[in-house]
Structure 1
Amino acid sequence: MKKTLFTLALLAGLTGAAQAQNVSLGLKAGATYSNFVGADAAGYKDIFGFHGGVFANIGITDMFAFQPELLYSQKGAKSPALAGGDVTRRLHYIDVPLAFHVNADGLFFEAGPQVGFLLAAQDKYNGSSTALDRSNFNTIDLGYLAGLGYQRKTGPGIGLRYNGEFTNYRQALTVGSTTFQSRIRNSAFQLYLTYSFGGR
């Protein structure tokens, strides 16, 4: 909770510090197409989820901009683990992307780091959902983003982004003197719409 509050304060501070610049605030929301990747991720299937939140687009020059965001994101994957049906693992994050944009008259290309804070995890099997213990998962997810889209300082926009992660989503498990680490990471494509307010 303290990390989330710190992130909110950081986002507000960045926006406030940039008031004298070419700044617009905005909303974004869309679909997430996610799966697990990594050496131990064989057999998982893609699932759809939702993401949405707010952003501040801070113009540095006519061509370059910095866009910090605060998003709620659903990630996860489906595993055909049981004979009775698939198990869908849904992970709920607060993501903080720090995107750097290269702009060309509304068309943009973006890349940058991202940090995610795990809010909850659950498995759904045969129509029933079970909440999972967060202590079994890494609650901070470090990753990166890359994408492209069309976005003006005022008005609607659209974008497609890929989120990759450096952090395995599960905690290491120690049994006796042996430690096991599942090499499985989040991977997600996000297709979204935006609406910007107040830019010059």
Structure 2
Amino acid sequence: MNKKIILIAAFICFSLASKAQNFDLGLKVHPLFGWLVPEEGKSNGATTGFSYGLMGDFYLKERYAFSTEFALTTMGGSIKQGDSQNGEETEYKLKYVEIPISLKLKTNKIGEGQLYGQFGFVPGIKVGAKISGTITENGVSRDYDNESISSNINPFRLSLLIGGGYEYYIDNSTRITAGLSLNNGFTDVFSAGEAKNSYVAINLGIFF
């Protein structure tokens, strides 16, 4: 399915939901730092990424909410394998549509806002994947520069979400959010071979 159609459909669904009682709608941007942990070889450091989209809180009680998002997220990581004769040092950029499902718990008001913590799961659907780096076989090296490898990446991803932060109230309905979260992947990234990808995000957003 075309990702533009997915995003338009999500916007319509969130807009309709915003008319319901006890629902808050917002926008989010999340700079992130991601890494890959392969079964063979080793992680070669973190790479930067970005996530943006819609977010919504459905309040079960005054300080407890069912929280969800619809986000386009670019993550990745770097892997180093083998030696100088048969090895590779590659960086992956993976793009997913993510739909986090979590429970958000808030404190009583502290100053002009509230602290919150959240815990849940994040299903993801792959919409793109690219590779950069060098692969050496029998002393012959081949360079890759943002080449598509979408067919080698599993179509679905599932991860555990844990995070927290602070929501600052500008007025009775508008608030700015800032926090940190860990998105810990536990499904394999590659269709052949085992590796998990995870990231830490700086969570920034605004509820209207």
- The amino acid across from 1:149 in the alignment is G
Partner of 2:140: none
Which sits farther off after the overlay, 120-129 or 163-172?
Answer: 120-129
Query: What is the correspondence of 1:31-50 to structure 2 with a 5 Å cutoff?
Result: 31-40=31-40, 42-50=42-50
Q: Distance in 2 between matches of 1:57 and 1:77?
A: 31
Q: How far does the alpha carbon of each residue in 1:152-192 deviate from its partner, in whole angstroms, 9 at most, with x for none?
A: 552211011111122100013xxxxxxxxx22111100002
2:196 to 181, 185, 200: 185
Partner of 2:182: 162
- 2:22 aligned with 1:22: yes
- The amino acid across from 1:150 in the alignment is Y
| Distance verdict in 2 for CA 1:38–1:92, change over 3 Å | same
Q: Is the 8 A contact 2:41 2:79 kept in 1?
A: no
1:149 to 165, 175, 195: 165
SS at the partner of 1:167? Answer: coil
Q: How far does the alpha carbon of each residue in 1:44-87 deviate from its partner, in whole angstroms, 9 at most, with x for none?
A: 2111111111111111101210111011111111234697x953
Query: What is the correspondence of 1:56-75 to structure 2 with a 5 Å cutoff?
Result: 56-75=56-75
Please say which structure displays the higher CA radius of gyration. Answer: 2
Q: TM-score, normalised by structure 2?
A: 0.77
| Distance verdict in 2 for CA 1:25–1:43, change over 3 Å | closer
- Is there any run of 5+ residues in structure 2 with no aligned partner, and where? 135-142
- Give the number of the structure with larger relative contact order, counting CA–CA contacts within 8 Å between residues 6 or more apart: 1
Q: Percent identity?
A: 24
- Is there any run of 5+ residues in structure 1 with no aligned partner, and where? 173-181
Q: TM-score, normalised by structure 1?
A: 0.79
Number of positions where the alignment pairs a residue of Structure 1 with one of Structure 2: 188
RMSD over aligned Cα, in angstroms?
A: 2.9
Partner of 1:111: 119
